[in-house]
Amino acid sequence: TAEGTPFDYTDRDVILYNISLGAKRTDLPFVYENNEDFQPFPTFGVVPWFNTQTPFNLDDIVANFSPMMLLHGEQYLEIRKFPIPTAAKTINVPKLVDVIDKGNAAVVVSGFTTKDARTGEDLFYNESTIFIRGSGGFGGSPKPTAARPKGAIAAYQPPKRQPDAVVEEKTSEDQAALYRLNGDRNPLHIDPEFSKVGGFKTPILHGLCSLGICGKHVYQKFGAFKSLKVRFAGVVLPGQTLRTSLWKEGNSVVFQAIVVETGKPAISGAGVELVEGAKAKL
């Protein structure tokens, strides 16, 4: 609806999110609701809107839409409330931001404001870019036309020097089977028949799972951030290892991630704006 869609979460959703990004039983602030520092990993704000409806059908706005050909292209997250609530009743207000015709592909950007249903305060703002192979050629603009937040279109580029920190983390073969319980039940991440039609030998990892793991690495090394932007530059398979390289540049951290087993990029053009006075966590 125009007013938005409700989604309520509790400590159970927070713990599931954290475990689906690799939190261990010994990471008490992330897995135990009675810990005095109990908290979600900093990218939890990608969860509420995902559990709500978009106000449009992709069939109506691009050519030859096929769900098997849809990939998550980019994601921008703004965290507007600190500390991030460990439970909330939320209202999620969606909007269609931009539709771009790349000829052979369609790029669709949508935005979601997540508000606290009781106070009306903003909790999170998200912009999601999806890349739909084979759905271009519908006569749309080949270039972006929408005004977007500065952070959402920031061209984060790693500097030439060595990274200030590198974190390596092996995902589990069951990572996507767990991550989907946060609300993204796209069969691409679990059903081999479906992913095969999409062009993949096995189901692939959710982009938002890689995003969460990299966000955790940023938090570990440099502390809390108020926005994060990534481009999903290449597919990650459950079980592969992500290597995140991080560079602190003023009040930003620029980062990228590659798949160690193949050497190919997973996340590029990525960065965060740190909260003033942020300190390394974990």
114 binds ligand HDC (CB under 6 A): no
CA distance 92 to 4: 5
Nearest CA among 145, 138, 74 for reference residue 106 = 138
Q: Applying CB under 6 A, which part among 123-131, 146-154, 157-165, 243-251 lies near ligand HDC? A: 123-131
102 binds ligand HDC (CB under 6 A): yes
Q: Identify whether 116 is a catalytic site residue.
A: no
Give the amino acid at 92. N
Minimum gap (Å) between residue 185 Cβ and ligand HDC:
8
Minimum gap (Å) between residue 276 Cβ and ligand HDC:
30
Classify each residue of 204-219 as buried b or exposed e, where b means 16 or more C-beta atoms within 10 Å of its C-beta: bbbbbbbbbbbbbbbb
Q: Identify whether 184 is a catalytic site residue.
A: yes
> Catalytic one among 189, 198, 223, 271?
189
E-strand ranges in the chain read 5-9, 70-79, 88-101, 105-116, 122-133, 165-170, 225-232, 241-249, 252-259, 265-274
Q: Identify whether 189 is a catalytic site residue.
A: yes
220 binds ligand HDC (CB under 6 A): no
Options 114, 167, 231, 246; binder of ligand HDC; rule CB under 6 A: 231
CA distance 84 to 236: 28
191-to-65, 86, 101, 180, 197 alpha-carbon distances in Å? 19, 32, 29, 12, 10
Contact yes or no for 123/86 (Cβ under 8 A): no
Options 232, 253, 271, 272; binder of ligand HDC; rule CB under 6 A: 232
The three-state secondary structure class of 239 is coil
Q: Applying CB under 6 A, which part among 29-37, 150-158, 161-169, 199-207 lies near ligand HDC? A: 199-207
Span 34-73, contacts to ligand HDC by CB under 6 A? 54, 71-73
13 binds ligand HDC (CB under 6 A): no
Query: Which residues form the catalytic set?
Result: 184, 189, 204, 207
| Contact positions vs ligand HDC (CB under 6 A) | 54, 71-74, 102, 107, 110, 128-131, 184, 186, 188, 204, 206-207, 231-235
